[in-house]
Amino acid sequence: MPRFSVKWVVAVVLIGVVGGAFFFCEYLIYFPTILKCAWPKISHARGGEGIDGHSVDSAVRAMVLSDTHLLGAVGGHWFDKLRREWQMERAFQTALWLLRPEIVFILGDIFDEGKWSSQKHWEDDVRRFHRMFRHSTDTELVVLVGNHDIGFHYEMDWFKLQRFEKVFNASSTRIVTKKGVNFLLVNSVALHGDGCPICQSVEKELIKLSRDLNCSLQSAQSGSGVMDGCEGSQLYPPTPPIMLQHYPLYRVSDAGCTGQDAAPPEERHLLFREKYDVLSKEASQRLLQWFKPRLILSGHTHSGCEVLHDNKYPEISVPSFSWRNRNNPSFILATVSPSSYTLSKCFLPEESTVISVYCSAGACLLLLFLAHCLWMKGLLQCLSLCLLGKHKSL
């Protein structure tokens, strides 16, 4: 075989190995992983006293993720930023294409540096977010506020909060209703209970929403229209809400959390700090008393957990969607009707798998290169012997 042909074959093989590994790890890997996920079907009433047997078509298909932490201009290395944002964009776009959710909730900490970013850097972060989490008009995207978006309680101010609300064109505390299901969005960063102006505003709005929901339930149960004391209240579908927020309700630690997305064993017994890792006991009890939610979904801890508060209020902590925070990010698929709900968890590719594929491709390249060098060395030796033999015969 001519030498140039060998070079071309080797080049084609090398390009095939590199290109194949890159295409698989950066595009294809998300499809087989997310194809394993499916919308759970409601077969038993859960979270309410409704009728069994709701079909997926008659319920809301909601996708829930948390803690995307888009890196900012200060603490984000350019390669880390490029890598993590590409991973999240491909995972999100693949999930949208394969699963077709009707509504997507992101439970706060959208940005990593919203709490201190300048207006210029903020606008750049927002632009990248809209590119990564673009969606069709068939899907509604609802974003909640987290401590990294506006700062912890002692860092937040009206400017940061209003800047966040303006970008997403909605109040940070409100009710989103879809197909008769009430989704209560809570600005949990402002629930310190110390009387700060933002805290007072948020608590006032929560009390109003609680009154509206209770009046809606009472009016439906009585069947006699507006109840006394409910004049001027806004009526919602008469069903307990699904409550979504960034901070989890109060719990001592993650000691009771299990599963492949739970916190590492060495971290599960670390005690949580109130108003920093979780809401305070007082704020948690107020929310449960005001709304009596049939399900709570929260983020912030970057790890998964299931907790039952007061033996009747289930809470699911949703892990981080970013590979920067976890080797195995995931999101929740929720099928929710006015009286029932069911959940499933969808795991994304593990970053260790991606690294293993790249390492295997690198090893193959090295072996091919060594084989090529040995083959070329053997060919040169043969040619040398042939030439030497001819020289001696002459």
Edge-first strand order for the sheet with 305-309 is: 174-178, 181-186, 242-245, 295-298, 313-317, 305-309
Identify the helix (H) or strand (E) that includes residue 55.
Answer: none
List the structure tokens of 176: 């989103």
Helix (H, G, I), strand (E, B) or coil at 45: coil
CA distances from 8 to 75, 334, 376, 381 (A): 44, 52, 14, 21
Q: Is 346 helix (H, G, I), strand (E, B) or coil?
A: strand
CATH architecture under which domain 57-220+232-350 falls: 4-Layer Sandwich (3.60)
Mean pLDDT of the chain: 87
Q: What is the predicted pLDDT for the residue at 1?
A: 46
Mean per-residue pLDDT for 256-270?
93
Cα diameter, the chain: 120
CB atoms within 10 A of CB 117: 21
Give the 3-state secondary structure of residue 24.
helix
- The Cα 61–Cα 101 span in angstroms is 5
Per-domain residue ranges of the chain: 57-220+232-350
What DSSP assignment string belongs to 159-220? HHHHHHHHHHTS-SSEEEEETTEEEEEE-GGG---S--HHHHHHHHHHHHHHHHHHHHHHHH
Q: Which 8-state DSSP code applies to residue 8? A: H
Residue 52: predicted pLDDT: 41
Task: State the Cα–Cα distance between residues 56 and 59, nearest whole angstrom.
Answer: 5
Fill in the DSSP letter of residue 58. Answer: G
Mention every residue, 6+ apart, whose C-beta is less than 8 A from residue 130: none
Over residues 90-110, the mean pLDDT reads 97
pLDDT tens-place string over residues 54-82: 444 579 999 999 999 999 888 777 788 88
* Under 8 Å between Cβ of 180 and 239: yes
Mean pLDDT for 355-383 is: 72
% of the chain surpassing 70 pLDDT: 86
**Which regions of 187-303 does DSSP assign to beta strands (E)?**
242-245, 295-298
**pLDDT above 90 (res 237):** yes
Q: What is the mean pLDDT of residues 317-337?
A: 95
- This prediction has a pTM of 0.87
- Banded model confidence at residue 50, pLDDT cuts 50, 70, 90: very low
pLDDT class of 10 with cuts at 50, 70, 90: low
pLDDT band of residue 209 (cuts 50, 70, 90) is very high
